[in-house]
Structure 1
């Protein structure tokens, strides 16, 4: 999907983030499981992650991220009449986590719903919010990625426990000056890869050939191969649709799953690793929260300049993928 040139430009107006206070280092797992700090770091790039407190559900994390956004960008929530939460760890099947967040930040009455596309969820939610504003169904949208993945994984399974962390990030999107904002979105999914990464939840029917337990299960080798291929392919497609080349990229903002996947994408695009926004060494894989967490952190550090060309790209359960090209607007 490419943004029409004649229509109002839609982009990111504000960002926010929240991470739980409890820091869980690699040493925690090295003391309990058959692994070491060096093994985890060398294969994933992750050194620590955050775990939510017992009273911190996905809606609570999302509310706190939105409060952070509001503190940093006063007035940003004014006029927001749509809330979308991307999450694989909702508080409940219903009410939606988005509705709980909306109520918690005094956006009662706003349309609110969840999007469940695992680690690709934030990009899917962004595209839906963009489309609804473009169609005149919303004025401004709060898009949240919020996850409590520590409760979704078996903490005694070294293949998954070491990878995932908890956190939330959010953006407000709305009209921006012409020449800024989103230029293209690429979304896709292939259910043939579904058995390689799944979380049972309240499933009534399981994919053929799978034996799902109550926790997230992952075929790491297959997901890695899929991720390296699709992260680059979808990002390249988003660039083409936006009329860009790799030379135009100022910042790659990828899903924070594995440093080797990010390094492969940078190598493919001829981009120095320093131009990729990374924070997985401190947060691990926060699923749908990873891209907005990275966006908010980079913005708070002053890394984005007005007019910078951003390329967002992710992948996840489905197996699914998504990418978006956007020109950063630093505000009036």
Structure 2
């Protein structure tokens, strides 16, 4: 069964926090932060905004691009590791807002690979004949949980959301065929159990093992791209663009160098919005859709704390 992304939309809060803010908070200056992360500013949700409201805003922007009535959606999958509510999830908030009465609703969490895992869940529901029109939304409210005073990672985090529509028909203004999806758990490698954590009452988001994350992210984000390209008789050189998880500008530069890929075709927004978590690869693609042309192959690749990785190969039609 063929799957197509029919529409893509994103939401990023208006507020930006500059590097200079952290000088008095965790002692790091603009030059130090930028040289090591590529971040100049990061997005921050406003008063009254949260993971669910940002997801709803992304879907509101998606709605007018849909080739089907949003009420006909029969599957909503939300992806996040920073939920506003772990009972009434973002998926259920979307169902309520748009009265998608027949929709199955669920939320998935696999750190920064959660968005790719959510797409793979849709693939499974479609294969079982249990859904035909899906909305996947990924949303992170990192600034709600981050400990800004932490000199290791307090300055990394931004907020935002991505929404996509998936069906079995190649419809939409800029539709993309999903050629392959790959995910993998990596909890058994390196310092996966301690490298990244989110403990709301015990330190918030932390990344005490940044070097271990860096090394493994570079390796497994490339591996994911190799799996989805080779399974379709393609090579990494056939990719027009790569939209990676926006964890660190140096990770993206290292990946480009290791696979001899033009860095200007690595889609990136980390300089403006920081690390927006699992929506980040999708947001980067959404922001650059005007660069993508019919026939282009685009690879999404991610790495998440815990650890996990994933990749998707898209062909725009």
Separation in structure 2 between the aligned mates of residue 137 and residue 103 of structure 1, nearest angstrom:
20
Match of 2:205 in 1: 216
Question: Does the CA-based 8 Å contact 1:58-1:91 persist in structure 2?
Answer: yes
Q: Does residue 262 in structure 1 map to residue 261 in structure 2?
A: no
Cα pair 1:180 1:307 within 8 Å, conserved: no
Q: Which residue of 2 aligns with 1:133?
A: 126
1:314 equivalent to 2:313? Answer: no
Q: Which runs of 4+ in 1 moved over 6 A?
A: none
Alpha-carbon deviation of 1:255?
A: 0.4
Deviation (angstroms), 1:58: 0.5
User: Could you state the TM-score of these two structures normalised by the residue count of structure 1?
Assistant: 0.88
Q: Report the counterpart of residue 101 of structure 1 in structure 2.
A: 94
Map 1:6-85 → 2, pairs under 5 A: 7=1, 9-73=2-66, 75=68, 77=70, 79-85=72-78
CA distance in 1, matches of 2:32, 2:136: 35
CA distance in 2, matches of 1:110, 1:214: 36
Structure 1 counterpart of 2:153, from 152, 160, 163: 160
Q: Is residue 302–residue 309 contact of structure 2 (8 Å, CA) maintained in 1? A: yes
Matches within 5 A, 1:249-288: 249-288=239-278
Distance in 2 (alpha carbons) for counterparts of 1:194 and 1:181: 35
**Structure 1 equivalent of residue 162 of structure 2:** 169
Superposed CA deviations along residues 115-147 of structure 1, whole A, max 9, x for unmatched, are: 001110000001111221232111111011101
| SS class of match (1:287) | coil
Local SS of the residue matching 1:12: strand
CA spacing shift, 1:258–1:298, aligned 2, 3 Å? same
2:230 is the alignment partner of 1:240: yes
State the SS of the aligned residue for 2:88.
coil
CA deviation after TM superposition for structure 1 residue 95, in Å: 1.8
Q: Give the total of aligned pairs.
A: 310
1:74 Cα shift? 6.7
The more displaced of 177-186 and 250-259 is: 177-186
| DSSP-derived class of the 1:33 partner | coil
Cα drift, residue 73 of structure 1: 4.5
8 Å contact 2:77–2:135 — kept in the other structure? yes
Tell me the distance in 2 between the aligned counterparts of 1:46 and 1:105.
36
**Whole-Å Cα distance in 1 between the matches of residues 143 and 69 of structure 2?**
31
Residues 227 and 73 of structure 1, relative CA distance in 2, 3 Å threshold: same
8 Å CA contact retained: 1:153, 1:216: yes
CA RMSD of aligned residues (A): 1.9
Q: Does 1:186 align with 2:182?
A: yes
Instruction: Give the stretch that moved more between structures: 118-127 or 263-272.
Output: 263-272
Aligned to 2:218: 228
| Worse-superposed segment, 304-313 or 131-140 | 131-140
- In structure 2, the residue matched to 1:324 is 312
| Residue of structure 2 equivalent to 1:200 | 199
Cα distance in 2 for partners of 1:24, 1:232 equals 31
Structure 2 Cα separation of the partners of residues 275 and 201 of structure 1: 37
Residue 7 of structure 2 aligns to a residue in which SS? strand
Displacement after TM superposition at 1:71 (Å): 3.4
Contact 2:8-2:165 at 8 Å conserved across structures: yes
Pairwise CA distance, 1:180 = 5.6
